Amino acid sequence: MVSRGDDEGWAARVIADRARGADVVYLGEQHDNPTHHSHQRAVLEALVARGARPALGFEMLEEDQQADVDQALAGTLAAGDLDERLRWRARGWPDLDMYQPLFEIAAREKLPVIALDLDPAVSRRIAREGMGSLGARAEGLASRLPADTPREEAIADVIRESHCGLLPEARLPTMVDAWHARNVTMARRLAAALDRGLTVVVIVGRGHQAAGGLPAQLAAVRPGTRQLVVDMIEAPPGTRSGAAAGDAIWLTPAVERRDPCAGLRRAPR
């Protein structure tokens, strides 16, 4: 399915219909695009209207925060209170107001909210020092996928580009390992929820849905899991979906952004 998003409700209902029978539904976003968050809300409302009661899993919440998440949802849902309890802005995520409606739906419908991501201090350590620096814990965070050099090179290319081409090449293998560790952590958290009889809607950056990412790791951790990947892509009118990664493709307007690399390119070396 390819949708330009002119009728958000219709597209959300189509995705909700396709989600029947899925164990996990990914709603991959550009974190700072308000349209993507509106679409996520519409899909979740469409699922609830069909009688579904999925858990909500967030990349933006770290696994060690689960108790804080549960306590926050049991209290008031004012954005300021959530921001303080979840340290949302302090941890660098975009405006909580874009995510607030999802928390409100979860509270209204009594849907569990699952903190998925790896502690960033651990992922930074892997990126700097390699998996071996974690000792025995490394085995539980290593990629579950078979060796695939082209896939790993493609992941490294994305990381290289996202760092403006300024990373030393020697850093890339450990950066790839850190990316895998995050996806493995999220996959294991999802598998545990599924084993408790839950279905899960996952709010996640669309990059984690790429080849070798979260869906692939979950398939390795828990074979047979039925997954539906929705990829929200910023694209100009008339664009075709091309090689986008997803079972459902939702084309949306882009957000204007400053060039994140401009300052770095001007900085003296």
DSSP of 106-127: HHHHT--EEEEEPPHHHHHHHH
pLDDT, one tens digit per residue, over 101-145 is 999 999 999 999 999 999 999 999 999 999 999 999 999 999 999
Tokens of 167: 């990373």
Tokens of 67: 């108790």
Q: How far apart are CA 67 and CA 78, in angstroms?
A: 18
Q: Would you put residue 4 in left (φ > 0), alpha (ψ -120 to 50) or beta?
A: alpha
pLDDT of residue 198: 98
Q: Specify whether the CB–CB gap between 56 and 114 falls below 8 A.
A: yes
Pairing, β 200-205 against β 2-3: unpaired
Domain map (residue ranges) of the chain? 2-254
Q: How far apart are CA 37 and CA 41, in angstroms?
A: 6
Phi and psi of 49, rounded to 5°?
A: -65, -25
Q: Specify whether the CB–CB gap between 114 and 52 falls below 8 A.
A: no
Beta partners for residue 115, in sequence order = 58
Q: Specify whether the CB–CB gap between 177 and 124 falls below 8 A.
A: no
Which among 79, 98, 88, 84 is positioned nearest to 30, based on CA atoms?
98
What pTM, to 2 d.p., does this model score? 0.94
pLDDT of residue 236: 75
**DSSP state letter for 32:** T
Torsion of CA 91, 96, 100, 102, to 10 degrees: -60
pLDDT of residue 77: 76
Interacting residues of 81 by C-beta distance below 8 A, sequence separation 6+? 72, 75
Per-residue pLDDT of the chain (269 residues; tens, 9 = 90+): 666 656 899 999 999 999 999 999 999 999 999 999 999 999 999 999 999 999 999 999 999 999 999 998 888 777 788 898 899 999 999 999 999 999 999 999 999 999 999 999 999 999 999 999 999 999 999 999 999 999 999 999 999 999 999 999 999 999 999 999 999 999 999 999 999 999 999 999 999 999 999 999 999 999 999 999 999 999 876 666 555 678 999 999 999 998 889 866 654 44
pLDDT of residue 78: 78
- The single residue listed with the structure tokens 């070798």 is 212
Phi and psi of 180, rounded to 5°?
A: -60, -40
**Looking at the domain 2-254, which fold is it?**
Rossmann fold (3.40.50)
pLDDT of residue 131: 97
pLDDT of residue 237: 61
pLDDT of residue 262: 82
Tokens of 18: 């396709």
- Alpha-carbon distance values, 34 to 40, 113, 117, 247 (Å): 10, 21, 22, 22
Q: Specify whether the CB–CB gap between 187 and 221 falls below 8 A.
A: yes
Percentages of the chain per state (helix, strand, coil), in multiples of 5: 55, 15, 30
Phi and psi of 203, rounded to 5°?
A: -100, 110
Interacting residues of 147 by C-beta distance below 8 A, sequence separation 6+? none
